[in-house]
Amino acid sequence: MNKAERKAFLNILFFPILFLIIMWMVKLAEYSLELSFADYGVRPQSLSGLKGILFSPFIHKDFSHLINNSYPILILGGMLFSFYKKIAKQLFLWLFFIAGFWLWIIGRPSFHIGASGIIYALAAFLFISGIIRENPRLSAVSMLIIFLYGSMIWGVLPTKEHVSWEGHLAGFMAGIIVAIFYRNEGPKRKKYQWEIDEELEEEFLKENELNINYTLKKDDKPN
């Protein structure tokens, strides 16, 4: 790996790793100071609970919860910043805030914490975006998402009492909406030569038709 490739690789992982560092620093601070930051989670339909939209993804119940959310953030975040380089930051921020806000709207009256909503948002975005863009590389990413995280779909259902399925559902829906909204931005489907030739031919025919119509109109004018 040369210097340029190494720099590109680090740029892809910088944001996801920064996110992970904050997550782990928060948990280590809780552990070392014997505190709980759960009250900074999302508290739905409560004005004071709005602050959780910003803080809750960095707060986790225990180290097991933290570890389970760490590797998907790294993998899915890396995919986002790898395939959507130019718009990855704005995509991530939209997913982050939309998922949190919708959780605040639809969630149960309890404190919701953890990065799983962001994970669902990333997974849904990568999957849907890969399909609607008709890009072979992104379609392959969609298939990989199904293979790695297909079972996550059950997490949007109220199957476990102490799991914030509302956060999962909010993230999932946020990913779908952002994928549709940004469908015309970022990586495009590669066009084949025959498609390019057809478009050029259509443009040529339209130009000729316009020229013919213009000539006919000039000829129709009285002398």
Supply the pLDDT for residue 6: 78
Q: Are residues 49 and 127 in the same domain?
A: yes
Domain total in the chain: 2
Range of the domain at 215: 193-223
Per-range mean pLDDT, top range of 4-18, 36-50, 148-162, 177-191: 36-50
Supply the pLDDT for residue 150: 75
Average pLDDT over residues 55-68: 95
Distance CA 117, CA 203 (A): 46
Supply the pLDDT for residue 195: 47
Q: Look at residue 74 and tell me if it is in a domain.
A: yes
Burial class (CB in 10 A: 0-12, 13-18, 19+), 153: middle
Q: Look at residue 188 and tell me if it is in a domain.
A: no
Distance CA 135, CA 145 (A): 15
Q: Are residues 31 and 130 in the same domain?
A: yes
Supply the pLDDT for residue 217: 57
Stronger pLDDT, 158 or 191, i.e. the higher one? 158
pLDDT at residue 222 above 70?
A: no
Q: Would you state the structure tokens that stand for residue 218, as one six-digit string?
A: 């000039």
Tens digit of pLDDT for each residue in 124-179? 999 999 888 877 788 888 888 877 777 788 888 888 878 899 999 999 999 999 99
CA triple 115-79-37, angle to 5 deg? 15
Average pLDDT over residues 40-45: 95
Q: Look at residue 187 and tell me if it is in a domain.
A: no
Q: Are residues 177 and 205 in the same domain?
A: no
Q: Look at residue 126 and tell me if it is in a domain.
A: yes
pLDDT at residue 35 above 50?
A: yes
